[in-house]
Amino acid sequence: MAPIVSVSNLVKIYGSGFQALKGVSLDIEEGEILALLGPNGAGKTTLISIICGIVNPSSGTVQVNGHDVVKDFRATRAIIGLVPQELTTDQFETVWNTVSFSRGLHGKKANPAHIEKVLRDLSLWDKKDNMLRELSGGMKRRVLIAKALSHEPRILFLDEPTAGVDVNLRKDMWKVVQTLREGGVTIILTTHYIEEAEEIADRVGVINGGEILLIEEKSALMKTLGRKQLRIELAEPVTVLPSGLEPYHLKLEDDGGRLIYDYDASGGRTGITTLLAAIAEAGLRIKDISTRQSTLEDIFVELVEKRA
């Protein structure tokens, strides 16, 4: 199946001469949830803005559903919903009008039943006649989402959707995302919250300094880069490791009170049994043992720091 979004060799140099994207290529499959992770200034918003046709690329191409985003702007924009970081619409307009108008802007016929459903799903129904300026920050974020969904997009971009929002909104948002996904909508979100990506994404892309460092199925990523750690607390601290423990490449922590052993949990042989025997042989007494699974956050930090 052809990808619904195909980005090829995208370069963006802003007027200031700053190169925000340095040749980004990526394909997005219909129906997937892709999380783009990256530190501030990585180029995430620039990438999304180009795909949505808001910013022009310096070179490279983007196809959405087989159409070029620059040449066929109307066709591509019609099937995209974008939830930007900030609200820029008229503060004196009502919620209902803002969301309905947004549908019209995308060339769709009025459909009050759909607008009502979107507002109800986002707990905005009782605010439909309020002006935007009367809403709290969280409610305004809900309006942004409602606007993006007003024209029933096939692809939804969420730019930092949960930055600074409360738990209720976050929950509502993920409920909406799950429902959309069940309806076949492709979802791309940028986030700083790695746990979020870990929870809901099918694929994770890491972007830094205008380059995609990695893009992979989340489960494969966790498997290939995910490591487990055995943490062994000793009854009495040691200053140097006994020579019998050298083959295990242990790290000493906590002033010699803790041994750290990194191992691959996906392999059949972890080496734990022989390590424990070697520790006993060396005459060390164990006080406690625990394991720790590396998280997507560890993987992310390692990747970004390696390139820094």
Give the interface segment with ligand ATP, choosing from 39-47, 58-66, 111-119, 262-270 (CB under 6 A).
39-47
Phi, psi of 226 (to 5 degrees): -70, 130
Give the interface segment with ligand ATP, choosing from 25-33, 44-52, 120-128, 129-137 (CB under 6 A).
44-52
Pick from 24, 43, 146, 279 the residue near ligand ATP by CB under 6 A.
43
Q: Is residue 62 part of the contact set for ligand ATP (CB under 6 A)?
A: no
Q: Is residue 100 part of the contact set for ligand ATP (CB under 6 A)?
A: no
Specify the pairing of strand 228-234 against strand 286-293. antiparallel
Q: Is residue 45 part of the contact set for ligand ATP (CB under 6 A)?
A: yes
- Rounded CA-CA distance 150/297 in Å is 34
Specify the pairing of strand 211-217 against strand 203-208. antiparallel
Residue 261 bridge partners (DSSP)? 230
Give the interface segment with ligand ATP, choosing from 26-34, 42-50, 86-94, 286-294 (CB under 6 A).
42-50
Question: Which residues in 212-227 are b (16+ Cβ under 10 Å) and which e?
Answer: bbebeebeebbeebbe
In the numeric block, the tokens 């490279």 are attached to 60
Q: Is residue 191 part of the contact set for ligand ATP (CB under 6 A)?
A: no
- Rounded CA-CA distance 127/97 in Å is 12
Tell me the CA distances in angstroms from 137 to 158, 204, 283, one per residue in order: 17, 29, 61
Q: Is residue 41 part of the contact set for ligand ATP (CB under 6 A)?
A: yes
DSSP state of 11: E
Q: Is residue 14 part of the contact set for ligand ATP (CB under 6 A)?
A: yes
Q: Is residue 40 part of the contact set for ligand ATP (CB under 6 A)?
A: yes
User: Which amino acid type is present at position 62?
Assistant: V
CB of 38 or CB of 226, closer to ligand ATP: 38
Q: Is residue 50 part of the contact set for ligand ATP (CB under 6 A)?
A: no
Min CB(302)–ligand ATP separation in Å: 19
Residues within the interface to ligand ATP (CB under 6 A): 14, 16, 18, 20, 38, 40-46
